[in-house]
Structure formats: structure tokens, C-alpha cells
């Protein structure tokens, strides 16, 4: 990319007061999440006025942190941000997130070779956080009535990962051009890949020509064809595919140079439509024509545990997988009753660099540099009077410390109980049904799920990112041949972990804590409503009683995964895709719904 900004603009947001603020907030998160995963162990000192006071010591260098906190369900540390103090040899010192990593490096047990890269990711996360705070992003009250893309670009990253916005590979210009929070529209570059290296796949009856015409239009298709014929190349022997500008300048133009020189790969130019990057950073929403497809491309930056490529091999089977899941969901009466649906990844294209394929026999980011998919837009699924909101918004706290969720509830006209019941019905009940009836689990975290709101109350949930993040745990499930990679062997005791980890520990833990901190809503009541949702679903589906007993969500304890431990262990491949259930654990957690099974069942039976 050209360095079009004044060099001073790259660091204009790095001001002392802002830097102190984002470091304090980040250390709060580090202590909370590392303590949750038992990477560190704060020491209890005393209790006063409803708070517990703790110290956290790095004895070898005489550093001690002091703070007060309340430990909520699921070992969630609700830390009073202003209370955090740092002393070195008894003298107060400024809070510094990178210094914290150095101080507790032994407890983190991180490979010394990985440590500098992890620190770079945390530093980049702080850089982005400082940008958001300097921009004084939209308030929680404003976001309660804002549009889908405004909300999308106000989000601040995964709630559990300490290094959640590293984006290693982006420079300061790239950040302002391509980071979701920068919200800068841009056009995608289009290439032509020769058919002996390139594959297009779609759901029936959608054709390559239809996708080409919709996404580019007849005039642009003709212009691109003319570029090929001008080089004495036959357009019929090529497939057009979009790529991220960063990928072209930083990876493809050099690594794929032999293929470009041989006209196996031909640069065509920029498309006409403007896109905005979504939270996932490599998925793009068409802002010129929102009814058109999302586009997702390979983007070989290191971010949150993976180099964010796309596998041409996976792209071949993605439409078939999406259509199988879509057909199942659309044909299920209960899922239709809840309004649950999926955004299909309806077409894909992938280019195989044969030299790298031959040279690299194992899985490698070099095999995932040139692929793209088209996903349905959620806009046609919205009725008059409804609007869309990423579910990540339910965890959002603005730069002034105000949470969005209480604003949504207040503006809805419903009390918290009624709002939560409706949310659980739209979000959790479909997940329970897919799990119990079909042995199918999603990756239903905040960024992967879109809520449809009516009067600021959820009325349905839309799941996305189907091709890469759906698993089927029953080996006897009949699947199309191309969809068989969904089958994942799972130990009996691990079957419920996707619910406990993705829903309880990654979403509900934070929603409950936000309601405690910002709305004084009792956490016991929150988990009671979760238990009520589970029991009501089970009561409505007695035919699945054997599965309810086998996959018991009311067990006293469970052991969810430890995302930060996993990232510290391998910050380039968080999970083994062949067995995504094989993970590090946070250790045993008390199940917050267990106590309500016998308490609620008689009440529900009376109803």
C-alpha cells in the first residue's frame, strides 16, 4: 500500500492520558481472564463493604498489584478498574500491559520464541484500543438505536482473548484502511485464475455466470474479459475471484509471481462496489448495494490464534455443507418456530499454487493465500420495523464505561426478566435443539451471530460462518460425501463442551457480569432463567429424554477450554481443526444452572 498519510497521523492517537486509560482497562482484562483460566492466582487479603481485596505478586522482581474484586459465577473476576494499583519495591508505578506480560512470564509458561510475537499482538491491540478511545466512539445510548454497520464498527474485540486485535502484518496505513473500527470503505481487487488451477463451487442451481453478473455487472465483466483478450488469453479458460488489496500487495504479487508471469493468474483491477470490513476483518459488507453478498477472502495476517487464510480445499465443500445445514434448519418445525436461520455461504472459489502444494505436505498458511467465498446478506431477512445487531454488542461497553445491554433493555419497555427470556428463546433454544436432535454444534460466539431486533427486543437469531465452524458429533449421521468433514469424533464426556464453552463461558458469563455491574441485576436470577430455558425446551421435547440424560447440562461441574492458554501455547494455530474438542482447560468450574434443575422442574410442570 502507498503511504498516503502524514507519518504523524500514524501515532496521533497515542497520547499519555489515553495510553494510561487503555493500559489500565487491559490489565483489568488480563488479571480477570488469566485468573479465570488459572494462569495466575491473586491472593485474598481481606473483605470490606462487599468487596474482596487482593494482591498479585511477581516475587522475583518485587512487583505487587493491589485491587478489589468480586468473584462471580464461572470464576468470573469483576474487578473495580480504578482500584488497580502497581507497586515496585513499595513505590507506585504506572500500569503497563506489556510489562505485566514480562512480569508474569513464568506463570504464563510461554515458549520464549513465541513471547515477542505475543507481546507485539498485545501492543497492537492496545494501539487499536487507543484509537477507539481517541475517536470517542459512539455512546451506548446512541448504539441502542444505531444501524447495523455503525454497531459492527464500534465493537472492540473478543471478550476472552487478551491479544484480540493483533493483526500482525498490517502497518499503520493498513490499520486506517482496513481495520473494522476505522470504518473506511474500500474496493476489492479482482484476479482471473486459470481453470486448471482455480475451482468455483456453488449451491445448485446458482452458476458462476450468475455470481459474476451480480457481483460485477455486465459492464465490468466485459471490461475484465477485454483485459484477458488483450493479452491473447481466452476468458472462458479463467475464473474471476476477489482478493483483499493487502493480500495482493503483500503476498500474492510476490509469492505467486511465477504464476502471474505465466498468465495462470492475471490482475484485472478494482471492482466498482465499496465494502466495509466486519469484525472478523476478512469478511466484507457491500455498503453500495447491501442486498448483495458478503465477500470473505484470504487475508494472511496473524490475528487471535491463526493466520487468517482460506483453504481452497475447504472451499470446494463449503457450499455443500452450507446447503445441507440450511436444508436441515429450514425443514425443522421447531427451528422455524424460533425464527432461527443461517446465512449460507453460497459460492466459493479457490486457487491452488501447485509449487507450494508439492513442497508443503502438511497444513500451511502458504496453501491458504488465495480463496474467497460469497455469503448471503442478512438484509433480505429483515422485516419492516426490525433491525440487525451483532450479538457481540450485548457485551459492549463504550469508552465512557457505559454498557449497551442495559440501554437496550431500558429502551425496549420490558423488564430484564422478560427481555432475557426472549433472548434465550431466540438464541439458546435453537442451539439446544440442534445439539440434542441432530448432534450438531456451531461456533455461536458474538461475532458469528446476528440478532434481529424489534423494539430493541430479539425476535430471531441468524447464524453465520457455517462452512468452517460447524461440527456433527454423531458418526451415523448421513451426510453428502462432500460434507463428511463435518463429522468429528468426540469423547462422551466432551459432548456438552461446545454449549458450556461457547455459550456459558464465552457469552453468558459476560452478559451476567455486565448486568451485575451496570444494572445491579442478580446473577443468580440470570442463571435461573438460563436453567428455565433448558428445562422448558426439554419439557417440550420428551422424545429426546435419553439424550437429555446422556448429555446433561445440569452436571455439578464442567471444564471449558482456556483460550488464552491455547493462544500462549501456539499463537498461530489455536485449535487442531481435525479435532477442535482437544483443547487446554480452565479447570473445573461450578455449573451455575445445576442448582435449579430440581427447584424449577415442579414449577414448570405446574405451568
The predicted-structure confidence for 324-355, as pLDDT tens digits, reads as follows 999 999 999 999 999 999 999 999 999 998 88
pLDDT of residue 363: 85
Q: If you average pLDDT over residues 458-485, what whole number do you get?
A: 93
Q: How far apart are the first and last CA of the chain?
A: 63
Helical pair 509-519 and 404-412, crossing angle rounded to 10 deg: 70
Instruction: Tell me the C-alpha distance between 125 and 593, whole Å.
Output: 34
| Selected residue with higher pLDDT from 66 and 2 | 66
> Cell 439424550 sits at which residue?
547
Task: Write the DSSP assignment of 589-606 as a string of letters.
Answer: EE-TTTTHHHHHHHHHHH
Which H or E run includes 419? helix 416-438
pLDDT at 606 over 70: no
User: How many residues comprise the chain?
Assistant: 607
pLDDT of residue 577: 59
The answer to which of 196-200, 211-215, 224-228, 353-357 has the lowest mean pLDDT is 353-357
C-alpha cell at 5: 498519510
pLDDT of residue 572: 75
**391-to-403, 424, 426, 445, 563 alpha-carbon distances in Å:** 14, 12, 12, 8, 20
pTM above 0.85, yes or no: yes
Residues sharing a CB contact under 8 Å with residue 327, sequence separation 6 or more, in sequence order: none
Q: If you average pLDDT over residues 411-423, what whole number do you get?
A: 98
pLDDT of residue 576: 61
pLDDT of residue 579: 61
Neighbouring CB atoms inside 10 A of 466's CB total: 24
CA dihedral 141, 143, 145, 146 (to 10 degrees): 150
Residue 582: pLDDT band with limits 50, 70, 90:
low
381 touches 452 (CB < 8 A): yes
Q: If you average pLDDT over residues 282-291, what whole number do you get?
A: 96
Mean pLDDT over all residues of the chain?
Answer: 94
> Which burial class, exposed, middle or buried, applies to 535 when counting CB atoms under 10 A from its CB (0-12, 13-18, 19+)?
buried
C-alpha cell at 472: 456433527
Show the domains of the chain with their CATH numbers.
9-136 (3.30.310.280), 172-375 (no CATH), 391-605 (1.10.510.40)
205 preceded by a cis bond (ω within 30 of 0): yes
Question: What share of the chain has pLDDT > 70, as a percent?
Answer: 97
In tens, the pLDDT along 514-533 reads 999 999 999 999 999 999 99
Task: Write the DSSP assignment of 499-540 as a string of letters.
Answer: IIIIIIIIIIHHHHHHHHHHH---HHHHHHHHHHHHHHHHHH
In tens, the pLDDT along 261-276 reads 999 999 999 999 999 9
pLDDT of residue 500: 97
Residue 310: pLDDT band with limits 50, 70, 90:
very high
Amino acid at each position: 500500500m502507498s503511504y498516503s498519510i502524514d507519518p504523524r497521523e500514524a501515532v496521533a492517537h497515542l497520547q499519555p492520558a489515553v495510553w494510561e486509560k487503555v493500559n489500565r482497562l487491559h490489565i483489568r482484562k488480563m488479571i480477570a481472564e488469566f485468573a479465570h483460566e488459572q494462569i495466575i492466582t491473586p491472593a485474598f487479603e481481606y473483605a470490606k463493604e462487599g468487596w474482596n481485596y487482593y494482591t498479585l505478586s511477581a516475587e522475583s522482581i518485587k512487583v505487587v498489584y493491589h485491587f478489589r474484586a468480586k468473584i462471580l459465577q464461572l470464576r468470573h473476576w469483576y474487578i473495580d478498574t480504578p482500584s488497580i494499583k502497581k507497586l515496585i519495591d513499595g513505590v507506585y508505578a504506572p500500569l503497563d500491559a506489556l510489562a505485566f506480560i514480562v512480569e508474569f512470564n513464568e506463570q504464563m509458561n510461554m515458549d520464549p520464541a513465541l513471547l515477542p510475537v505475543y507481546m507485539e499482538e498485545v501492543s497492537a491491540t492496545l494501539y487499536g484500543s487507543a484509537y477507539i478511545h481517541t475517536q470517542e466512539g459512539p455512546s451506548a445510548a446512541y448504539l441502542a438505536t444505531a444501524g447495523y454497520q455503525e454497531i459492527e464498527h464500534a465493537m472492540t474485540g473478543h471478550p476472552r482473548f487478551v491479544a484480540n486485535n493483533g493483526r500482525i502484518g498490517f502497518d499503520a496505513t493498513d490499520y486506517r484502511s482496513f481495520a473494522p473500527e476505522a470504518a473506511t470503505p474500500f474496493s476489492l481487487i479482482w484476479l482471473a485464475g486459470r481453470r486448471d488451477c482455480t475451482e468455483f463451487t456453488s449451491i445448485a442451481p446458482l452458476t458462476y455466470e450468475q455470481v459474476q453478473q451480480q457481483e460485477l455487472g455486465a459492464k465490468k465483466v466485459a471490461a475484465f474479459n477485454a483485459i484477458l483478450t488483450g493479452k491473447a488469453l481466452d476468458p472462458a479458460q479463467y475464473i474471476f475471484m476477489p482478493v483483499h488489496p493487502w493480500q495482493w500487495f503483500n503476498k500474492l504479487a510476490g509469492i505467486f509471481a511465477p504464476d502471474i508471469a505465466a498468465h495462470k493468474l492475471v490482475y484485472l483491477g478494482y471492482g466498482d462496489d465499496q465494502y466495509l470490513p466486519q469484525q472478523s476483518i476478512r469478511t466484507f459488507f457491500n455498503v453500495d448495494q447491501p442486498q448483495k453478498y458478503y465477500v470473505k477472502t484470504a487475508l494472511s495476517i496473524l490475528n487471535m490464534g491463526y493466520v487468517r487464510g482460506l483453504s481452497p480445499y475447504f472451499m470446494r465443500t463449503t457450499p455443500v455443507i452450507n446447503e445441507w445445514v440450511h436444508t436441515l434448519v429450514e425443514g425443522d418445525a421447531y427451528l422455524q418456530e424460533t425464527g432461527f436461520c443461517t446465512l449460507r455461504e453460497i459460492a466459493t472459489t479457490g486457487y491452488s499454487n501447485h509449487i507450494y502444494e508439492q513442497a508443503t505436505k502438511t497444513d500451511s498458511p502458504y496453501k491458504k493465500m488465495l480463496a474467497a467465498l460469497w455469503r448471503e446478506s442478512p438484509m433480505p431477512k429483515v422485516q419492516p420495523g426490525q433491525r440487525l445487531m451483532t450479538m457481540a454488542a450485548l457485551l459492549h461497553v463504550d469508552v465512557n464505561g457505559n454498557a449497551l445491554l442495559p440501554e437496550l433493555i431500558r429502551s425496549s419497555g420490558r423488564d430484564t426478566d422478560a427481555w432475557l427470556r426472549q433472548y434465550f428463546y431466540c438464541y439458546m433454544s435453537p442451539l439446544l435443539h440442534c445439539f440434542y436432535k441432530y448432534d450438531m454444534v456451531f461456533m455461536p460466539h458474538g461475532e458469528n451471530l446476528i440478532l434481529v431486533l424489534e423494539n430493541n427486543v430479539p425476535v430471531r437469531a441468524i447464524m453465520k460462518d457455517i462452512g468452517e465452524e460447524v461440527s456433527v458429533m454423531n458418526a451415523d449421521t448421513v451426510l453428502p460425501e462432500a460434507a463428511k468433514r463435518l463429522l468429528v469424533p468426540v469423547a462422551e464426556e466432551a459432548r456438552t463442551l461446545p454449549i458450556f464453552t461457547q455459550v456459558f463461558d464465552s457469552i453468558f458469563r459476560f452478559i451476567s457480569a455486565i448486568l451485575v455491574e451496570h444494572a445491579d441485576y442478580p446473577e443468580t436470577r440470570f442463571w435461573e432463567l438460563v436453567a428455565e430455558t433448558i428445562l422448558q425446551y426439554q419439557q417440550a421435547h420428551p422424545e429426546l429424554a435419553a439424550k437429555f440424560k446422556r448429555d446433561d447440562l445440569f452436571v455439578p461441574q464442567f471444564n471449558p477450554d482456556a483460550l488464552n492458554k491455547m493462544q500462549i501455547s501456539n499463537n498461530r494455530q489455536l485449535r487442531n481443526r481435525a479435532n477442535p474438542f482437544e483443547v487446554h482447560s480452565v479447570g473445573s468450574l461450578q455449573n451455575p444452572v445445576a442448582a435449579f434443575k430440581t427447584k424449577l422442574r415442579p414449577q414448570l410442570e405446574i405451568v
